[in-house]
Chains A and B, each alone.
Chain A
Amino acid sequence: MKRMAAALAAAMLCASGVVAVPVPAPNQAVIDGTAMPAKLSEFALFQPESAQPLEMLAPYTLNTPLFSDYADKHRLLWVPAGKKASVAADGTIEFPVGTVIVKSFGWPDFNGGHPVETRLLIHRADGWLALPYIWDADGKDATLAVAGRRVPVSFKSPDGQAHSIRYGVPNKNQCKECHSKSGVIEPIGPKARNFILPTNFASRYFADPAALKPVMPRWDDPKSGTVAERARAYLDVNCAHCHNPAGSASNSGLFLRWTDDPAGVNYGIGKRPTAAGRGSGGMDFAIAPGDPDHSFLIYRMESLDPGIAMPEVGRSTVHKEGAALLRQWIAEMPKASHD
């Protein structure tokens, strides 16, 4: 009903005498409201009874994406009419209230490529809200799952290996574990250095579209950067949302942002375990230069044991290709002289 009313209102706004076909738009009242709707369709971000997004939403990509169990991720951005996002001096993007960031997760060879879940990051007047929705069996709508859920999925990774996992849809708190800066939720994917928006949307959504300079390398494209540069891009995107001084892993003292000193002990080089427990794997250092087999950063990336594995959330599969890149990076470092 609400959607019909919105469409009607839109139609009435059109010049009289012209037959206007209302363009379906997201339900801004729901976006801006205080409710946590039980159904994804209430936001009207997708075509009715489908996972096909409205054309008004901007599809965006990232040079280097977060690994999520080899899921294909479809990312969308909605900035309400009349408002603009802007790029801050440090490259973070400031989105206006009313913005919705949408990310759908699926596998091309699972359930006909239909998404399993769609996560929303909604910028409301009192801050960002993260909501996970799991798609219903009929694929027509998705249902809020604030407590998350494990969903059995099967797929093949790029090397042809078959995986059957209990994929973890994160709960609302787990969303915040990653999307947290000093305890407040914020987006983590869209940063000017890593964010690619089609030009027509860039000029429509941004006050300063020229500031969107995706200079960060593609982790898997050797033409885009050296091994070290691509490894640092990978660490920034996959680890630094927690591993920064205001993130969930602040107490570890391991800081892996693109802007951190990659030679410093706080980047892991020669850094002893702090609260790693079994995560140390009996090794002395997070990164032992020249020796990936004795670098527990690698050990944790290659583990699936919850007491060892990193990241702690959002991974039920080892990202072999990512680990291989970091192995190569560490192997190519000059060995420390005291070894």
Chain B
Amino acid sequence: MVASANTRLRLETSRLTARFGQHRAVRDVSLLFPAHTVTAIIGPSGCGKSTLLRCLNRMHELTAGASVEGEVLLDNVNIYAPDVNPVELRRRIGMVFQRPTPFPTMSIYENVAAGLKVNGRRPRPEVDDAVSRALQQAALWDEVKDRLHTSALELSGGQQQRLCIARAVAPQPEILLLDEPTASLDPAGTQRIEELCHALKRLYTIVIVTHNMQQAARVSDYTAFMYLGSLIEVGRTEEIFTKPRVEQTEAYITGRFG
């Protein structure tokens, strides 16, 4: 474990196996996500990287036929323990998906506030503050501050994705999971999101799944390479990309397969 070093431990998987029916999508993965860093999970399509991510906030189990073995530890508490409420857990872990998923009937403001609402009613000024803070963190505030009450669908794809980031960070989670957040964006939109990763790791522990190796190299502190459901190698990003220790990693990052 290269990544353990001296940062405070936040999130860790221990011998985690995730299944869809009989198929093992994630195989025996033990991985540490140090606090206030960006960890990228890379690997070819179908390697289980998104499934691994979805195990971290118990979204995986919502799929029919899905099951999980092993542990995911959040501050040394196994989130799969029987007394853990997955709904409460997801309030502490924000998630952003491949495609922007704004709620189409809600305004920009309501979209961001939606994450707060499920966390219990709050007085209006407090919600106003939280919404503007979240939009500022998502670097969207300047673009939308004059039209907070217009439909979220009027935003561009990149803006919608940053809106989803704002929605995810509004309740001030501890961890932010990004599942190929730039897959549907143009280069400019992609760059904004990558800059955000840098800015937001001060506040959150970030795990980003990407099929784009340059992106992993640009945004992450640690990189984990997965292949066929197994964790092949994990380490400091510059080490993974300059001197990988495993043959398969090198083959993948040099583009010989994947």
Chain A partners chain B: no
A residues sitting closer than 8 Å to B (CB atoms) are none
B residues sitting closer than 8 Å to A (CB atoms) are none
